Structure 1
Amino acid sequence: MSRKILGFIFVFIIVLVSYQCAQRGTPTGGPKDITPPELTRAEPPNLTTNFTGQKIRLYFDELVKLKDIQKQLIISPPLNNAPVLSPIGNVNKYVEITIKDTLEPNTTYTFNFGQGIVDNNEENPKSFFTYVFSTGDYIDSLSLTGVVKDAFNKKADDFVSVMLYKIDSSYTDSTVYKRPPNYITNTLDSAVIFKLNNLKEGKYALFGIKDASGNNLFDQKTDKIGFVRDTINLPTDSIYLLNLFKEIQDYGVAVPSMEASNRISFGYYGEGDDIQIETITKIPDTVKTKITKEREKDTLNFWFTPYEMDSIIFVITNESLKVKDTFKVKNRKVEFDSLKISMSQNGNIEMDKPINLLSNTPIIRFDSTKIKLMDKDSVEIAYSLKLDTLQNLLNFDFKVHPDQSYRMELVPGAVTDFFETSNDSVDYSFRTKSIADYGNLTLSLNGNTIVYPIIVQLTNEKGDLQREIYASRPQEYVFNNLNPGKYQARVIFDMNGNGKWDTGSFLEHRQPEKISYYPTLIELRANWEKIETFNLIE
């Protein structure tokens, strides 16, 4: 064989070997690991009785780590001191628990890790892994099942703590505020079903709490609560509903603040209808004062004409509760709140929503001869004008037409506030869209046990109220001239007839007023006429 042929064969072999080596070195990946870690053994074993130790080790078939374990781990009954867990911030083939508490005798303890134990690579969770032991001769085996919902919102909160208190001689209605429960579990993510396991026979009180501080107690200022009025008798095969709501906070007054040189702000909590504000400090007769409530805020404003002073001492009295608070407000250099007028709607306006003029200071008078409303042809439009009870809103009532432009003119002196300040000349322009740009929705309610009065509401996808109809008898509910979009429908059963939804009270054993939601979002497009039947299910 010639050298030329041998050389060609040699080069071919080198290229072939190089190609195969390259092929072998090319990463091909593989199927994604979706298998959670598996427990291989526990020391002491799961379901151990007569437990006397302080350390527990859980061994797994691969490297694991703890993820968000402070939130995920639920221990029932709760321990006074949190156990020490490892590895924190590291990986290992075992999880170690060191108990710092003195355990109660003859008690079954449950450690529910939720989604807190995950493998090292893909973070596949060992979902709802539970380790159980007893300090007595046997493991308690009873269980209780139920559902969590939100009293006002369609979607329930996640991570709701479900608590069971043993009813004995030490239990009172205030217990839920003072000490952790005998048994506890929680809901995870979007789950609404809960189950408490390894329970002991007896009588219990059942609660659900959205525990903002994570202290296993009910804090009215921050937490939602749901409760079952009846005593829970274990064993039971009943399924229980916990309807969570935020209570009206107990009355209290925040420290007042001088927000402007002519305004001192008094924030309060709870019911403020009977609050009286008086001054102890002698105020000159030449100084005018006025108290108004701030719109959509639990705040009262003390308005006064500025004068030379160091401080003012106030007494705030809640007449219905017979509670008094005294505050001293020091003078400080802040700007004067001067009159500013704005419109509630600008640009493209909603045809079925009110058109208002809003003021940042109290209005004492208005002159409708100095306010002109005109259409696109400069034809003046008749209107009525009314000052609301908070004295900072003027409502314009006039016939609004589709596909129309409007202009409102205010000349000086149209609006005068508490400080005898009047508006400057101002123009506002706004318009309505064509009827074809809107959609109409009719709701027909279907149910044999509807109790009136009711409030039928439409909200947007975020839950913001768009329209409502109050009804004291059966009717169709027609919502015309709606912007295209997706709407949520709900019905409030106004049991006390006060025209609004009322929350509940645990200490008064009062559940919140019922709300029923239409099961899906209702999509409405321009120039649509849509009719939906709303089946109300008890």
Structure 2
Amino acid sequence: MQCASIKQPTGGPKDSIAPVVLNEYPKNFSKNFKEKKISITLDEYIKLNNQQKEISVSPDMDKPPQFKIKKKVLEITLPDSLEQNTTYTINFGKGLVDYNASNPIINYSYVFATGDQIDSLSISGNVTNALTKEKEKEVRVLLIPVSQDSIFGKKKANIFAQTDTIGNFKISNLRANTYRIYALKETNNDRIYNGADELIGFLKDSIVLDKDLTNINLQISKGTPLKFRVVDKKIENTGRIHLVFNRGIKKPNLVLLNDDENDKSKIVKYSEAQDSALIFINNLERDSLKFVLSENNTVLDTILVKKSNLKLDRSIVPTTSPSTGKVDRVKHLTISSLTPIKLIDKSKVKLIEDSIAKTNFQLQLDTNVANLYHLRYNWRKQKNYEIILEEGAMQGYFGEKNKEKKLTLAYDDSDNYGDITFTFTAIDSARQYIVELIDEKKEKVFRRDILNNSIGKVAYKEFPGGKYSIRIIRDDNKNGIWDPGEVYKLTQPEPLVYLNKTFTIRANWEQNESFSLQELNDLN
């Protein structure tokens, strides 16, 4: 005979009710405040949750207040150094919760004034990401009197709020004054802008606060660092020299010092954003290399790169695409390498179809992308293919060659390609625009086109089926890229808009869409 198992009673529905404040001493919104301790009594046992992040005091006190829980009572001990004639607000965020279920009191604040009046003005608005246009949660909004603008200094901004889950903020109990306002997505929580690793938004002009202000929109972005530096530098085991910078460089130039022969023959490839460089040289016998980096013919930095104890293998390693191993009438095989390719010897490239060697394939260098070759063939269904890159088929500029590589391919008969053409209207003839075809998450850019008055259409022909979106950037400085905000220059991010829907490219389907740029033209 088995005994019945004993289980804990379920206890009914889960507690989802937040604690209720029963008493505050001194009373909330007290004036001429002189007490050293505040007591807040609630209707159930409580605890503090994530105190350092959730609970804030605005403006800052010289020493932080001390918080102590005694069953159902929160005691706050204040420092002796409170400013005269100042309104203080203790914002609890989600930091004050019940003991058992951690249900927070939402939007609870305790306010008191050391003078004879409570400051009552407020500023509210929202924070968005300038590139994605998504609302930004948990971003600090800082309000600083213009007489002590300390966003770039050592002193923390002491009037602030944090955006909620939908990007909204409100700073209350403010005195009339002239302020500067910033939104800061921080890396170290110090309420000081520490450079381009942090996202920042701002209004160009200061705010004269003499009445409540609403609908303040701040767009955050990563700006350009004020001081240039090299983030990373190394010689890889392939012999490739990799330099990474903390910003893009206009008209970059690299010179190898004390080595004229290598300097003249070197190959330098900059990234699209020109914030990194790959350097290839013939002779890597030296233990270290010294480069001078210039921007617009002005020297930025001298960079010393050490070889360490690398075991170099300078053979060319082929990379091929598609990675699925399937090709079709649109998606042919591409061949590339991390190192520069001087040529591919077609006679050493073998294409085998069902065990039969074929020579009627095309091998061509891409007209736009350096180092990329296309292997085109009339691929057929129900056929198996093998590609052999014999040793030495790929040759570099400094005698490098590839080792033999074999890969198998098959025909993809899904035929999942379609056409879509966008016609853009309300084009301002004095402006240039950038049209980006992106994924639904706004993270990947599949194609980028320049649009102006003479080019009013963008066509995507035989494009892979799937869901996409369109982002249009008003390229105000006509440099071909989106420029973020620059807080040091008080310039805002370049305006952009999104197609207000995702669209689907369907197999064997031609579509036409129209997009007006009037909204984009009207943005400040």
TM bucket (normalised to shorter chain) is: 0.7 to 0.9
Deviation per CA, 1:500-538, whole angstroms, max 9, x where unpaired?
Answer: 222221112211111212334435555555555556645
Q: 1:496 maps to which residue?
A: 477
Q: Distance in 2 between matches of 1:286 and 1:356?
A: 30
Change (3 A) 1:292 1:99: farther
Retained in 1: the 8 A contact 2:292–2:299? no
Alignment match, 1:274: 252
Letter in 2 for 1:185: A
Percent identity between matched residues is 29
Separation (CA, whole Å) in 2 of partners of 1:188 and 1:476: 40
Counterpart-to-counterpart distance in 1, 2:411 and 2:262: 48
> Does structure 1 retain, via aligned residues, the 8 Å contact 2:420–2:459?
yes
1:236-279 residue CA offsets vs partner (Å, 9 max, x unmatched): 44522101111133411246334338444433221334243433
* Contact map agreement 1:259 1:334 (CA 8 A) in 2: no
Q: Residue type matched to 1:495 in 2? A: D
Q: Distance in 2 between matches of 1:353 and 1:103?
A: 70
- In structure 2, the partner of 1:13 is none
Matched, 1:471 2:451: yes
- Structure 1's unaligned 5+ residue stretches are 1-21
Distance in 2, Cα, partners of 1:105 & 1:262:
66
Tell whether 2:338 aligns with 1:360.
yes
The 5 A counterparts of 1:170-249 are: 170-171=148-149, 175-189=151-165, 191-236=166-211, 237=213, 239-249=215-225
8 Å contact 1:351–1:481 — kept in the other structure? no
Displacement after TM superposition at 1:450 (Å):
9.3
Bigger shift: residues 452-461 or 313-322: 313-322
User: How far is 1:229 from its partner?
Assistant: 0.7
The match for 1:336 among 313, 320, 327 is 313
Q: How has the CA–CA distance of structure 1 residues 126 and 443 changed in structure 2, closer, same or farther, with 3 Å as cutoff?
A: farther
Q: Distance in 2 between matches of 1:529 and 1:122?
A: 56
Which residue of 268, 271, 292 corresponds with 1:292? 268
Q: Which moved more, 1:200-209 or 1:440-449?
A: 440-449
3-state secondary structure, aligned to 2:52: helix
Query: CA 1:523–1:307 in 2, change beyond 3 Å: closer, same or farther?
Result: closer
Q: What amino acid does structure 2 have at the position aligned with 1:331?
A: S
Q: Tell me, in whole angstroms, the C-alpha distance in 1 between the residues paired with 2:303 and 2:415.
A: 59
Closer, same or farther in 2 for the Cα pair 1:527/1:333, shift >3 Å? closer
Identify if the C-alpha distance between structure 1 residues 418 and 94 changes in structure 2 by more than 3 Å, giving closer, same or farther.
farther
* 1:50 Cα deviation after fit: 2.3
Q: Give the superposition deviation at 1:217.
A: 0.7
Query: Which residue does the alignment assign to 2:44?
Result: 62
- Structure 2 residue aligned with 1:78: 60
Partner residue of 1:105 out of 84, 94, 97:
84
Contact between 2:128 and 2:219, CA under 8 Å: does it hold in 1? Answer: yes
1:418 aligns with 2:400: no
Tell me: CA distance 1:80–1:330, structure 2 relative to 1, closer, same or farther (3 Å): farther
In structure 1, what is the equivalent of residue 433 of structure 2?
A: 454
Alpha-carbon deviation of 1:313? 5.7
Decide which moves more: 409-418 or 489-498.
409-418
Q: Tell me whether 135-144 or 154-163 shows the greater mean CA deviation.
A: 154-163
Q: What amino acid is aligned across from residue 212 of structure 1 in structure 2?
A: T
**Displacement of 1:443:** 4.3
Cα distance, 1:224 vs. partner?
Answer: 0.4
User: Is the 1:288–1:305 Cα contact (8 Å) retained in structure 2?
Assistant: no
Q: Distance in 2 between matches of 1:448 and 1:262?
A: 48
Distance (whole Å) between structure 1 residues aligned to residue 87 and residue 271 of structure 2: 53
Secondary structure, in 3 states, of the residue corresponding to 1:245? strand
Moved more, 232-241 or 290-299: 290-299
Secondary structure at 1:266's aligned position in 2? strand
Please tell me whether Structure 1 or Structure 2 has the larger radius of gyration of its CA atoms.
1
User: How many pairs align?
Assistant: 503
**Does the residue aligned with 1:256 lie in a helix, a strand or coil?**
strand
| Conserved? CA contact 1:470–1:499, under 8 Å | yes
Contact 2:18/2:98 (CA < 8 Å) preserved in 1? yes
Distance 1:457 1:330, change over 3 A: closer
Residues 46, 131 of structure 1: 8 Å contact kept: yes
Instruction: Name the CA shift for 1:525/1:122 in 2 (closer, same or farther; >3 Å).
Output: farther
Is 243-252 or 454-463 further displaced after alignment?
454-463
Aligned with 2:145 (options 154, 163, 166): 166
| Cα deviation 1:91-146 (Å, max 9, x = unaligned) | 83122333457222222111211122222233222112111112222111011122
- In the alignment, which residue of structure 2 is the partner of 1:384? 364
Deviates more, 1:353-362 or 1:493-502: 353-362
Cα deviation 1:291-328 (Å, max 9, x = unaligned): 5236568443454456665x436253434454333537
Amino acid at match of 2:489: E
- When the two chains are superposed, the root-mean-square deviation of aligned CA atoms in Å is 3.8
Q: Which amino acid aligns with 2:202?
A: F
CA distance in 1, matches of 2:422, 2:392: 46
**What amino acid sits opposite 1:252 in the alignment?**
R
Distance 2:30 2:256 in 1: 67
Residues 438 and 331 of structure 1: CA distance in aligned 2, closer, same or farther (over 3 Å):
closer
TM-score (structure 1 length as normaliser): 0.80
